[in-house]
Amino acid sequence: MLGELAQLYGPECLQLESSSTAESGWFDHDALRRALINLIDNGLEACEEAGKPKKVQLISTPSESGVQLVVMDNGTGIPEDHQTRIFEPDFTTKSGGMGLGLAIVENIIIGHGGHIKVESEVGHGTQFTITLPLTPGAGRQSSRDGEQ
């Protein structure tokens, strides 16, 4: 999946650092992809708003219980008083935004049994850290298993 994101954005917009074992396990591919695209798009937009090169870094590393994904940019940053509200539905600072993107991201992460946190400094950028407990994919059994 991370390779797909690298192809989607290209090296000029997305710097990918990944351990080969970091994304092994079961997860909802489409949902997790959507969450990462939202974070990457927000980061690229923040860089553009700050007048900096549009580039986001995505780092994937194994963690104790699964995988840790870090999405970071050097954009405008998020004011401290907004950081506690950014995952609330309907909260937005964008004139055209609906305030649903980060709420959806958080729900996807929680739905995978993980958690997400944000660290940001105005004028220096933002870092989202996602921790997911990836479990090995379970083999599917059919009603024919064991039949001769």
Phi, psi (deg, nearest 5) at residue 129: -115, 120
2-132 CATH pick, 3.90.960.10, 3.30.565.10, 3.40.50.300, 1.10.3720.10: 3.30.565.10
Angle at 65 between CA 118 and CA 69, to 5 degrees: 35
How high is the pLDDT of residue 108? 96
Per-residue pLDDT, 21: 55
pLDDT of 148 reads: 39
Contact 23, 1 (CB under 8 A): yes
Round to whole Å and give the CA distance between 112 and 131: 10
Identify whether the C-beta of residue 58 lies closer than 8 Å to the C-beta of residue 16: yes
Euclidean distance between CA atoms 64 and 100, whole angstroms:
30
pLDDT along the chain (148 residues), means of 10: 92 89 70 96 95 96 88 95 89 72 95 94 96 64 38
CB 86 within 8 A of CB 106: no
Rounded Cα distance, 59 and 137, in Å: 23
Contact assessment for residue 71 and residue 41, using Cβ atoms and an 8 Å cutoff: no
Please state the domain extents for the chain. Answer: 2-132
Residue 93 is predicted with a pLDDT of 72
Q: What is the pLDDT of residue 134?
A: 72
Tell me how crowded residue 131 is: count the other CB atoms within 10 A of its CB: 19
